[in-house]
């Protein structure tokens, strides 16, 4: 059985703990729920942990962690890291070590430009300020844009061959 959320033991992504605790009106972006903090360590929005306010942007944070798990092929709470995956990746980006954090199999399959965009999207999801994080619709649009670019790059390469 796969662990709660994240990467299956055979490195397949799985999502099973990312849910907003309360369903509310979708036309009110500042809606939040005050709760006792609950969640899976590693996916937990630090702002939610600090304030007890669960927002739609809390799910965006958790989704960013899942994106990193796929790109790095590491669990959110990987024991080989001194800190959580999100912090490790953010620190590595600041240190200019982007290519060292991406799993080598993935790095060999996807163009560096696409990988940089995937990491940029994930990093935006992890912004400390929830207001600075994208909406899930914006995340979806960004991911689709990268996939179109990747698909077009493959087609161009095949046409030139």
For 65-88, the pLDDT digits (tens) are 999 999 999 999 998 988 899 999
Distance CA 149, CA 153 (A): 6
Mean pLDDT along residues 119-143: 95
Which domains occur in the chain, in start order? 35-160 (1.10.510.10)
- 141-147: long-range pairs with CB below 8 Å, 24+: 142/117, 143/118, 145/117, 146/114, 146/117, 146/118, 146/121
Whether residue 15 is predicted with pLDDT greater than 50 in this model: the reply is no
Predicted pLDDT of residue 25: 55
- Number of other residues whose CB lies within 10 A of the CB of residue 20: 14
Predicted pLDDT of residue 55: 86
Give the pLDDT band (50/70/90) at residue 152: confident
52, 65 in Cβ contact below 8 A? no
């Amino acid at each position: 059985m796969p662990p709660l959320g994240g990467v299956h033991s055979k490195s397949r992504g799985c999502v099973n703990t990312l849910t907003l605790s309360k369903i509310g009106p979708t036309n009110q972006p500042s809606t939040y729920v005050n709760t006792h903090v609950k969640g899976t360590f590693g996916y937990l929005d630090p702002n939610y942990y600090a304030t007890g306010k669960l927002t739609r942007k809390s799910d965006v944070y958790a989704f960013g962690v899942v994106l990193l798990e796929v790109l790095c092929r590491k669990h959110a709470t990987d024991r080989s890291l001194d800190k959580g995956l999100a912090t490790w990746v953010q620190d590595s980006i600041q240190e200019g070590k982007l290519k060292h954090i991406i799993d080598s199999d993935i790095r060999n399959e996807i163009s560096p430009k696409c990988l940089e965009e995937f990491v940029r999207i994930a990093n935006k999801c992890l912004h400390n300020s929830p207001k600075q994080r994208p909406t899930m619709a914006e995340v979806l649009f960004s991911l689709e844009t990268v996939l179109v670019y990747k698909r077009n790059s493959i087609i161009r390469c095949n046409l030139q061959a």
